[in-house]
């Protein structure tokens, strides 16, 4: 749950509520021409309910100011009020549609900041949808060979697998195996008499995820707020991490922080290990992250576009 960025056809995105800005260029998107007509008299900062599309049960047209020529406060208020309207009508999956024109203005930055500061974000699935009906073929062409070269090869189809070698059981059947196991246990206990106890070992745990993350933020010179916003993580989630030294985040959240801190592959793996994860060449998601980190490309939105192309989970809030 939280905020995710996806590149998709806005008209085909399935959600409970869809919020779209009032822009003339969206008249060309299916189902939205009537909605734009209904919102034509809305002043900047207002919103209106329009006829829902086949893929969403509620369509909200928000008259967001055309930044940066107008005040960002109107954008914040309009978007927050639109989210309130969707939440009050029991919508849990909310899409917010943007066009490529929005990415060239400060619309994206203002929208992301407003959503990340929304009080109920952790209980919602909010998607910032950049309208890309045809997808990004160039990105996929670059990633395909890289992913294929690293995936573990699977056995050819219809290949006969050799049967595992059977171990002799002996005349006593399973009892003989059990006897050998108890012998080994006795030997281990004898060797362990002078060894450090388990309780003693547990008193000397390595640096945990929260400790390493806070240390890396301090070493980077960033403020906490700069880091979690750059990682596309909500303030509520970051507060939860900071207050619990043994917090166990999702893998996507760890990687989002690694990108925000611009860690190299070794540092990224070290941070992953503190949460019990690692990058694997048997996982498409991991290979995509390795591709970008090894090239020092740390833009979460660009990486999320690649993950979306391969139907992988997005980076950001849990």
Specify the pLDDT at position 265.
93
Q: Is 84 exposed, middle or buried (0-12, 13-18, 19+ CB in 10 A)?
A: middle
Name all domains of the chain by residue range, CATH numbers in brackets: 2-134 (3.40.220.10), 138-152+204-309 (1.10.260)
Q: Got the DSSP string for 200-230?
A: HHHTTPPP-HHHHHHHHHHHHT--HHHHHHH
- Residue bearing the bigger pLDDT, 202 or 116: 116
Highest mean pLDDT (candidates 45-49, 140-144, 161-165, 211-215) = 211-215
Token pair, residue 25, equals 């260029």
Token pair, residue 132, equals 């890309």
Specify the pLDDT at position 178.
46
**Mean model confidence pLDDT for the chain:** 75
Specify the pLDDT at position 307.
85
pTM for this entry: 0.51
pLDDT per residue as tens digits for the range 66-90: 654 456 677 788 888 889 989 998 8
User: At 262, is the pLDDT very low, low, confident or very high (cuts 50, 70, 90)?
Assistant: very high
pLDDT per residue as tens digits for the range 188-223: 555 555 555 656 655 555 678 999 999 999 999 999
What distance in Å separates the CA atoms of residue 75 and residue 159, rounded to the nearest whole number? Answer: 60
* Angle separating helix axes 107-116 and 72-88, nearest 10 degrees: 50
Q: Is 136 exposed, middle or buried (0-12, 13-18, 19+ CB in 10 A)?
A: middle
Count of H-run helices and E-run strands, the chain:
14, 6
Specify the pLDDT at position 261.
94
């Amino acid at each position: 749950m939280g905020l995710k960025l996806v590149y998709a056809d806005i008209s085909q995105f399935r959600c409970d509520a869809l919020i779209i800005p009032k822009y003339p260029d969206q008249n060309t998107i299916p189902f939205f021409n009537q909605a734009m007509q209904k919102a034509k008299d809305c002043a900047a900062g207002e919103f209106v309910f329009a006829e829902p599309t086949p893929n969403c049960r509620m369509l909200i047209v928000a008259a967001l100011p055309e930044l940066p020529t107008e005040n960002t406060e109107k954008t914040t208020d309009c978007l927050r009020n639109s989210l309130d309207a969707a939440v009050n009508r029991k919508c849990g999956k909310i899409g917010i549609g943007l066009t490529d024109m929005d990415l060239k203005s400060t619309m994206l930055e203002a929208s992301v900041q407003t959503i990340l500061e929304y009080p109920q974000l952790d209980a919602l699935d909010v998607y910032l949808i950049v309208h890309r009906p045809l997808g990004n073929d160039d990105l996929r062409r670059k990633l395909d060979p890289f992913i294929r070269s690293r995936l573990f090869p699977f056995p050819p189809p219809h290949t006969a697998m050799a049967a595992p070698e059977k171990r002799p059981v002996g005349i006593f059947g399973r009892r003989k195996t059990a006897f050998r196991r108890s012998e080994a246990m006795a030997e281990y206990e004898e060797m362990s008499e002078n060894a450090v106890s388990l309780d003693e070992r547990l008193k000397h745990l390595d640096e945990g995820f929260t400790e390493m993350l806070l240390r890396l933020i301090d070493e980077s010179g960033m403020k906490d707020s700069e880091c979690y916003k750059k990682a596309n993580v909500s303030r509520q989630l970051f507060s939860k991490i900071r207050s619990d030294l043994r917090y166990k985040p999702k893998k996507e959240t760890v990687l989002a922080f690694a990108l925000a801190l611009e860690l190299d592959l070794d540092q990224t793996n070290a941070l992953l290990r503190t949460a019990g994860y690692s990058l694997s060449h048997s996982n498409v998601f991991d290979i995509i992250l390795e591709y970008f980190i090894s090239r020092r490309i740390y833009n979460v939105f660009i990486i999320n576009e690649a993950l979306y192309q391969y139907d992988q989970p997005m980076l950001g809030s849990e």
